[in-house]
């Protein structure tokens, strides 16, 4: 079987989007400062200083998104080859997972969800959640997992939802 490798860090914000996010952060922060100093400096006593909380809150939220878009993340990838399934993903603290094909008993692939359940020979299981990926990459990964499992003569069960499996 051929191996497949997806570099998941290539999907980043463009420079223009980062500039827009930081501009909105600055504009809302300046709006909050303007509302805060409107009463004591400009004598506009009908504007309460507590109204500055909304622009500062929006500025904080957009600032967090801007920071997340600007900071480089570690190498996020998904790799399937003849020996193992290996991937690293996560938003805050990425974790690397590696599973040997020899340890896997069967795969459960729900039709309505972007997940794959790996059942191991020792009785444990792990759910690979692919909902955070683009639809095209999710489809290719699931297809390659299915084909590799069939190539290795593993049982692949197809169900509608993973919740059906847990009820039994």
pTM of the model: 0.67
Q: For residues 11 and 158, which has the higher predicted lDDT (pLDDT)? A: 158
- Asked which of 2-16, 63-77, 82-96, 125-139 is least confident by mean pLDDT, the reply is 2-16
Q: What percent of the chain has pLDDT over 70?
A: 92
Over the stretch 84-139, which tens digit does the pLDDT of each residue have?
999 988 767 788 999 999 999 999 999 888 999 999 999 999 999 888 788 888 89
Residue 167 has pLDDT above 60, yes or no: no
Domain locations along the chain: 12-70, 74-167
Contact assessment for residue 106 and residue 146, using Cβ atoms and an 8 Å cutoff: no
Residue 29: per-residue pLDDT: 95
Closest of 52, 53, 60 to residue 24, by C-alpha:
60
The pLDDT of residue 12: 64
HSE toward the beta carbon, residue 25, CA cutoff 13 A: 15
124-165, pLDDT tens digit by residue? Answer: 999 998 887 888 888 999 999 999 999 989 999 888 888 776
Q: Would you state the pLDDT for residue 166? A: 61
Q: What is the per-residue DSSP string for 131-148?
A: TTS-HHHHHHHHHHHHHH
- Candidate CATH numbers 1.10.530, 1.10.3470, 2.30.29, 1.10.1760; the one for domain 74-167: 2.30.29
Q: For 99, phi and psi rounded to 5 degrees?
A: -130, 130
């Amino acid at each position: 079987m051929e191996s497949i490798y997806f570099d998941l860090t290539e999907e980043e914000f463009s420079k223009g989007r980062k500039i827009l996010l930081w501009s909105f952060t600055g504009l809302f922060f300046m709006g909050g400062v303007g509302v805060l100093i409107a009463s004591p400096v400009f004598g506009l006593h009908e504007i309460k200083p507590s109204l500055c909380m909304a622009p500062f809150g929006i500025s904080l939220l957009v600032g967090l998104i801007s920071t997340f878009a600007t900071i480089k993340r570690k190498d996020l990838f998904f790799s399937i080859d003849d020996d193992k399934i290996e991937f690293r993903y996560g938003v805050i603290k990425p974790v690397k997972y590696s599973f040997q094909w020899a340890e896997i008993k069967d795969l459960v692939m729900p039709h309505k969800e972007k997940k794959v359940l790996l059942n191991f020979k020792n009785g444990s299981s792990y759910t690979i959640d692919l909902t955070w990926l683009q639809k095209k990459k999710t489809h290719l990964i699931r297809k390659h997992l299915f084909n590799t499992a069939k190539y290795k003569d593993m049982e692949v069960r197809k169900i509608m939802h993973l919740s059906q499996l847990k009820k039994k």
